[in-house]
Amino acid sequence: MERKSPSIATIPAPGFSHLLPLIEFSKRLVVHHPHFYISFFIPTLGPPSPSTYSIFESLPPQIDFTFLPEINMEDLKTLDAETQIYQTVTLSLPSLRRHALTSFASPTHRLVAMVIDFFSMDALDIAKELKLKSYVLYPSATTSLSLCLHFPELDENHEMVPTGFRDLSQPLKLPGCISFQGKDLPDPFLERSSEAYKTILHACKQLRLPDGIIVNSFVDLEPEVVNALQESNQNQYPLVYHVGPIIQTRSTNISESDSECLRWLDNQPRNSVLYVSFGSGGTLSQDQLEELAQGLEMSGHKFLWVVRAPSASTNSAYLSAQKEDPLSYVPQGFLDRTKGQGFVVPSWAPQIEVLKHDSTGGFLTHCGWNSTLEAMVYGKPMIVWPLFAEQRMNAVMLTEQFKVAVRPIGDENNNGIVKREEVARVVKILMEGDEGKELRRRIQVFKDAAAKAVSEDGSSIMTLSNLAQEWTNLIGN
């Protein structure tokens, strides 16, 4: 009787920044180990976008996908984004059970393991029911993973965090990590009484339960915290596997209008353009959007800006697409005045191709971990402008630990808004002068380290091979 091939079930969480690392991890696994078969079971809060469908339809034949029935948005509308995401997965578990059991009976593949997102923790119960090995793909830095692993113990110290981490009197220093002020920690950690705090605490407690944690980082990027987790393991935490950087290698669905910005880049001098983008869901207020526009104009430097319609919420476009025309919100006359200096794109740009481009000399970014890794892989120094999630932690790491970025200072007397003069100042630091050259030199070091990690005998590829061998060995058990 012919031996079955190993099959992996993957359960992402809603939100492109959670879906992307699982997709790219799966692609890398089947490229290096083509005998694997991977099934995506995708919880949905609304109808999948055409771009999401096209991504899945372009995947290798060893990867299939099922969109689970939509969860009623009305049931979750009053919740914060983190709890919405978590509850969407939890409410999808009954249909997931039905699909997982069907997959389990495949004549050609044996389901041996389940890989889930950090916000899909309640799916661990299904892995246990099916006697599967379970793994969490943690989509961010090892440093923020360390915070999550230590969070349950930190939460018990009510003297240190009486009402939440916002009130920390001393910087938080985790083993192997740089220090963080309370205000730099993710929003859900800041207020003990919030629903988001309870959601994240629950997820962090569950993080002790899987057989392993797969991290989208690489050993040479964060060696101190990697070593600290290894030393403190002693069966306290699951095994941690560093397989990053996991990023897209090309953008999907580049339309004619998207190609226009790339043609514009083709006509610009080398390293002359600042790319400005706040990720797949970040939004600015109207006042901040206007200050950013005026600051880019004042800087005198060329820019390619992905504009999204403003909102009072920093993540309003994360779980639902915006319908307004973003270009109608920029200052009057701005597009005409900056015609030769800048190129403005509504809502989306082919980021991989932009960051690869020789004309792109820097990246003003919200510090989402996917964008951070892409900037490192393509060697672009950054202006960091964090908005939500763990982005403030990433910003501290990029400026103080890696020293590959500069951070604008907000006006404390005006809701933290970054004024146009400050925008112009940091753009000039990045794009001209000695400090910008030093940032560019340092980012090249990380670019080389990232390339080495995913080379044929690099640390991340070897770790992936070891993990694949562990899963293959389960066929005989």
State pLDDT tens for residues 41-70: 999 888 887 778 888 888 999 999 999 998
Q: Is the pLDDT of residue 457 over 60?
A: yes
Rg, the chain, Cα only: 22
Cα 11 to Cα 9: distance, rounded to the nearest angstrom: 7
* Percent of all residues in the chain with a pLDDT value above 70, rounded to a whole number: 94
- pLDDT attached to residue 318: 46
The confidence score (pLDDT) of residue 419 equals 97
DSSP three-state, residue 417? strand
Give tens-digit pLDDT for 190-207: 999 999 999 999 999 999
DSSP per-residue codes, 345-373: EES---HHHHHHSTTEEEEEE---HHHHH
Q: Give the pLDDT score at 163.
A: 84
pLDDT for the residue numbered 418: 97
Q: Does domain 5-244+454-476 have CATH number 3.40.50.2000?
A: yes
Residue 235 confidence (pLDDT): 65
State the catalytic residues. 18, 117
pLDDT for the residue 444: 98
Average pLDDT of span 69-75: 82
Check residue 157 and give its pLDDT: 82
Percent of the chain whose pLDDT exceeds 90: 73
Q: How many CB atoms lie within 10 A of CB 374?
A: 21
Q: What is the pLDDT of residues 249-308, one digit of tens each?
A: 887 666 666 789 999 999 999 999 999 999 877 889 999 999 999 999 999 999 999 999
For CATH 3.40.50.2000, the residue range(s) in the chain are: 5-244+454-476, 256-451
Q: Does the pLDDT value for residue 233 go beyond 70?
A: no
Let me know: does 13 contact 85? Beta carbons within 8 Å: yes
Residue 306 pairs in a beta bridge with 345
- Fill in the amino acid letter for 190: L
Do residues 385 and 289 lie in contact, with contact meaning Cβ atoms separated by under 8 Å? no
Helix, strand and coil content of the chain, in percent to the nearest 5, comes to 45, 15, 40
Q: Which long-range contacts (CB under 8 A, 24 or more apart) does 191-195 make?
A: 191/163, 191/164, 191/166, 192/155, 192/161, 192/162, 192/163, 192/164, 193/163, 193/164, 194/80, 194/164, 195/79, 195/80, 195/83
pTM of the model: 0.94
Confidence bin at 81 (pLDDT 50/70/90): confident
Q: What is the arithmetic mean of pLDDT over 323-328? A: 82
CATH number of 256-451: 3.40.50.2000
Helix extents (H) in 81-165? 81-91, 93-104, 124-129, 142-156
Q: Name the pLDDT band for 477 (thresholds 50, 70, 90).
A: low
- pLDDT for the residue numbered 138: 97
Beta bridge partners of 233: none
Residue range 104-129, pLDDT digits in tens: 667 788 999 999 999 999 999 999 99
Q: What is the pLDDT of residue 257?
A: 63
Give the whole-angstrom CA distance, residue 238 versus residue 211: 6
Do 230 and 181 touch, CB atoms closer than 8 A? no
Task: Tell me the C-alpha distance between 257 and 239, whole Å.
Answer: 45
pLDDT in tens, 334-390: 999 999 899 999 988 999 999 999 999 999 999 999 999 999 999 999 999 999 989
- Distances 421 to 19, 175, 295, 299, 424 between C-alpha atoms, Å: 37, 38, 6, 8, 5
Q: pLDDT, tens digit, for every residue of 11-46?
A: 999 888 888 999 999 999 999 999 999 999 999 888
pLDDT tier at 1, thresholds 50, 70, 90: very low
How big is the CA angle at 136 (ends 130 and 142), to the nearest 5 degrees?
165
pLDDT tens digits for 126-166?
999 999 999 999 999 999 999 999 999 999 887 777 888 88
Q: Cα(133)–Cα(296) distance, rounded to whole angstroms?
A: 50
Across the chain, what does the average pLDDT equal? 91
Is residue 101 scored above 70 in pLDDT?
A: no
CB environment 63-84: b (16+ within 10 A), e (fewer): bebeebeebeeeebeebbbbbb
